Amino acid sequence: MSQAITLSARNLTRRHGRREVIRGVSLQLRRGEVLGLLGHNGAGKSTTMQLLTGTLMPNSGAIEICGYDLAKQPTHAKACIGYLPETPPLYRDMRVDDYLVFAAKLHRVARSAIAGALAETKRRCGLEDAGGKIIGTLSKGYQQRVGIAQAIIHNPDVIILDEPTVGLDPTQIRDIRALIRELGNAHSVILSTHLLSEVENICDRVEIMQHGQLIYGDTSVRMQRFGHHTGFVVTLLAPPALAELKAVDGVESVEALSDTRFKILHTSDTNSAAALLAAAAEGGWQAQQLTPLQGNLEDAFVQLTQNETAA
Amino acid sequence: MILTIAHKEFRSLFAMPSTWLLLGALQFILAWFFLARLDAFLQVQVQLAQLANAPGATQSVAAPLAGTAALILMMLAPIFTMRLIAEERRNQTLVMLMAAPVRSWQIVLGKFLGLFLFLLLIIASCVLMPLALTLGTHLDAGLLFSNALGLLLLTASYTALGLYFSSLTTQPIVAAAATLAVLFGLWLADMGAADSDMAWRAITPYSHFQNFNEGLLRSADILYFALFSAAFLLLAIRRLHNNRTYG
């Protein structure tokens, strides 16, 4: 994690009238990192992204992109950002090529570099065949790709994608995720979503938003373990008494799910599955199936956001 | 950057069939009017020749043509200006411009320039048709020039006004209605005002245009149009800027 910081936001606040919609949001992003912004509808994800791209001014706080202050040197800072809003900003009556060239010029790509950037971007987004088509006639998935192409054609350091996979079919979602993952290797990517699987698949880091605040941030792998005991569910056709199971080395608690199925939780540093299987062989419990409990982001998310609501 | 936006604006106008339709219809009307004036002029030309200081072809044909074009532009300008910003806002494409490394004033000037260049085509046809008369007669170049300049400035002011109203709303139709209402109101004020009522005369674009129409080049009129256009362009820039501040 020694990569350069490409985006840093400090203490962003944004009010709509008297209501604070964003409260004290601070973010940092390094090159080669994919950050997932997670939250319910209306949690402030899109507003945060608007603040980060300079389409909306924060009431207080500062944003620095590649070393440029967004408020003081907006043109320099914005040249380093690629932004795909919730609704892709497509001119429906333009041809894909014309539109992307316009986007490139708008982002100050040198005239001589435009042709190369156009070809490269179309290749990345799988738009090679669509160049001459009118955007309005493309399918939703292709329009989304054009939207992403528009955001990356100037090879920005920071790419901000607001719900990039909404409304796409599963194959398209897979393609776009692969693309985002690829982009994440060389650029910094922030993406907002309420699909938890998306975060699990492609993000290095997760920030959870609620009521305009970041309430939890961690690497997505660690987050999947959040609030979870490690353990497994075991099926024993000839189960012993519960106390006997509990006596197995490392087991913390045992819960009978049915006559033959038991949920066993153990401390996170020891794995008592081996010990249990050994005991089962010895005692003739007829162990049949052992399924590890998987912590998933969904549980962690629900738990976190509920805690916050209760607090 | 201004030119990039202007170029895109100019090209996108020609991507729409309605633009071609309007241009065609307009050319038809102007040509019809031009020929009608020419016809009338030819019929009275013999009598006119006997008068001292008789009005020439420029004064009888070109000037009325420019006057008509000014009136038509009043109704036409809102149709074109309404889309400039309101439609971008409605289609949520304005975000792309706002997030790009472009200043608000560059967006506004780019859009203004793009449409202004387009409307220049209409003005050009108003000048070219009378110019065709040089084949048979001698034209008053000064009068023709002042009419062309007048139309140019008038168009600029209409475009700036329309652009401002377009920046206020999300609905192009609302922008068009508001622009037309203001332009029409100003025109009515000009028509209704007594000749001595200098205050009304001073604020309406059409009355300033009439000086150009008569071949009168006054710096006050030029200044008026420059101020009028600049004021509304500044207001539009201000509005776009507020877009970022107030959402």
In order of A71, A74, A232, the CA distances from A268 in angstroms are: 47, 48, 12
Q: How many CB pairs under 8 A join A and B?
A: 69
CATH of the domain at A281: 3.30.70.100
- My answer on whether A234 and A107 are in the same domain is no
Listed as own residue / partner, the contacts of B218-224 with beta carbons closer than 8 Å and 24 or more positions apart are: B221/B150, B221/B153, B222/B153
pLDDT at residue A211, as a whole number: 85
Sorted by sequence, the CB contacts under 8 Å of residue B19 that are 6+ apart come out as B13
Confidence of residue B247 (pLDDT cuts 50, 70, 90): low
pLDDT over 70 at A298, yes or no: no
Chain-centroid distance, C-alpha B193:
22
**Tokens 């387009």 belong to residue:** B118
A167 or B83, higher pLDDT: B83
In a domain, A309, yes or no: no
Same domain, A145 and A263: no
Q: How far is residue A138's CA from residue A144's CA, in Å, rounded to a whole number?
A: 10
Are residues A188 and A268 located together in one domain of the fold? no
Q: Is the pLDDT of residue B10 over 70?
A: yes
Classify residue B19 by burial, with Cβ atoms within 10 Å: 0-12, 13-18, 19+: middle
* A94 interfacial to chain B (CB closer than 8 Å): yes
- Domain check: are A98 and A239 in the same one? no
Write down the pLDDT at residue A170: 86
Per-residue pLDDT at A294 exceeds 70:
no
Q: Does B202 touch chain A (CB under 8 A)?
A: no
Whether A140 is covered by a domain: the verdict is yes
The closest alpha carbon to A7, from A83, A60, A59, belongs to: A83
Asked if pLDDT for residue A65 goes beyond 70, the answer is yes
What's the whole-number mean pLDDT along residues A137-162? 91
**What average pLDDT does this structure show over A182-199?**
85
Question: Across-strand partners of A233?
Answer: A263, A291
Judge whether residue B62 has pLDDT over 80. yes
Contact between A14 and A52 under an 8 Å Cβ cutoff? The reply is: no
Q: Are residues A115 and A44 in the same domain?
A: yes
Instruction: Give me the mean pLDDT over the A115-139 stretch.
Output: 91
**Averaged pLDDT for residues B104-122:** 94
Task: Tell me the per-residue pLDDT of B121-149, one tens digit each, with 9 for 90 and over.
Answer: 989 988 898 888 888 888 888 899 999 99
Query: What residues make up the domain containing A253?
Result: 230-292
Give mean pLDDT, residues A237-241: 82
Stretch 15-44 of chain B: residues touching chain A, C-beta under 8 Å: 15-16
Across A38-47, A163-172, B159-168, the highest mean pLDDT is recorded for: B159-168
φ/ψ of residue B139, rounded to 5: -100, 155
The reported pLDDT for the residue numbered A243 is 80
Mean pLDDT of A265-278: 74
On whether both A69 and A214 belong to a single domain, the answer is yes
ipTM attached to this prediction: 0.87
| Cβ <8 Å between B95 and A93 | no
Domain assignment of residue A305, yes or no: no
State yes or no: pLDDT of A309 exceeds 70: no
pLDDT at B192 (0 to 100): 79
The answer to whether B94 faces chain A, any CB pair under 8 Å, is yes
Q: What is the pLDDT of residue A16?
A: 85
Q: Which of A89, A102, A103 sits opposite B95 (nearest CB)?
A: A89
Q: For position B9, what pLDDT does the model report?
A: 92
Longest pairwise C-alpha distance within chain B: 69
Structural domain count of chain A: 2
> What percent of chain B has a predicted confidence (pLDDT) above 70?
98
Smallest Cα distance from A213 to chain B, Å: 19
- Among B3, B18, B95, pick the best mutation site for testing chain A contact (most A Cβ within 10 A): B95
Q: Are residues A141 and A178 in the same domain?
A: yes
A40 falls within a domain: yes
Predicted pLDDT of residue A311: 47
Same domain assignment for residues A235 and A219: no
Tell if the CB–CB gap between A106 and B97 is shorter than 8 Å.
Answer: yes
- What is the overall mean pLDDT for chain A? 84
Q: Where a domain ends, among A167, A189, A224?
A: A224
Q: Is the pLDDT of residue A307 over 70?
A: no
Q: Does A164 touch chain B (CB under 8 A)?
A: no
Please report which confidence band the pLDDT of residue A223 belongs to, taking 50, 70 and 90 as the band edges: low
Which of B14, B16, B88, B96 is the best residue to mutate to test the A interface, defined by the most A CB atoms within 10 Å of its own CB?
A: B96
Say if residue A149's pLDDT is above 80.
yes
A193 to each of A30, A141, B162, how far by Cα in Å? Answer: 20, 17, 39
Residue of chain B with shortest Cα separation from A50: B99
d(CA A237, CA A154): 63
The answer on A190 and A45 residing in a single domain is yes
- Cross-chain CB nearest to A89 (options B4, B96, B245): B96
Q: Is residue A220 part of a domain?
A: yes
When CB atoms are compared, the residue of B4, B15, B247 closest to A56 is B247
Closest CA to B176 of B168, B186, B187, B166: B166
Phi and psi (nearest 5°) for A224?
A: -65, -20
Does A301 reside within a domain?
no
Q: CA B173: distance to chain centroid?
A: 19
Structural domain includes residue A303: no
Nearest CA in chain B to A91: B93
Domain boundary pick from A176, A208, A224: A224
- Indicate the residue of A81, A92, A94 with minimum beta-carbon distance to B99: A81
Mean pLDDT, rounded, of chain B:
90
CA nearest A227: which of A300, A296, A292? A300
Residue found by looking up tokens 């400039």 in the block:
B84
Last residue of a domain, one of A224, A254, A275: A224
Q: Do A106 and B100 touch (CB under 8 A)?
A: yes
Q: How far apart are CA A58 and CA A47, in angstroms?
A: 10
Are residues A236 and A220 located together in one domain of the fold?
no
> Is A201 found in the same domain as A83?
yes
Position A226 pLDDT exceeds 60: no
Q: Assign residue A73 the CATH number of its domain.
A: 3.40.50.300
Average pLDDT over residues B176-199: 85
Is B101 in Cβ contact with A76 (below 8 Å)?
yes
**For A78, which residue in chain B has the nearest alpha carbon?**
B101
Give the closest residue to A165 by CA, choosing from A189, A206, A195, A129: A195
Q: What is the pLDDT of residue B90?
A: 92
C-alpha span between A144 and A139 (Å, rounded): 9
> Which residues does chain B have within 8 Å of residue A83's beta carbon, measured at their own beta carbons?
95-96, 99
- Chain B's closest residue to A98, CA to CA, is B8
Tens of pLDDT, residue by residue over B29-53, are: 999 999 999 999 888 887 877 777 7
Whether residue A237 sits in one domain with residue A182:
no
B242 lies within 8 A of chain A by CB:
no
Task: Tell me which residue has tokens 């919730």.
Answer: A86
Eight-state DSSP code of residue A4:
P
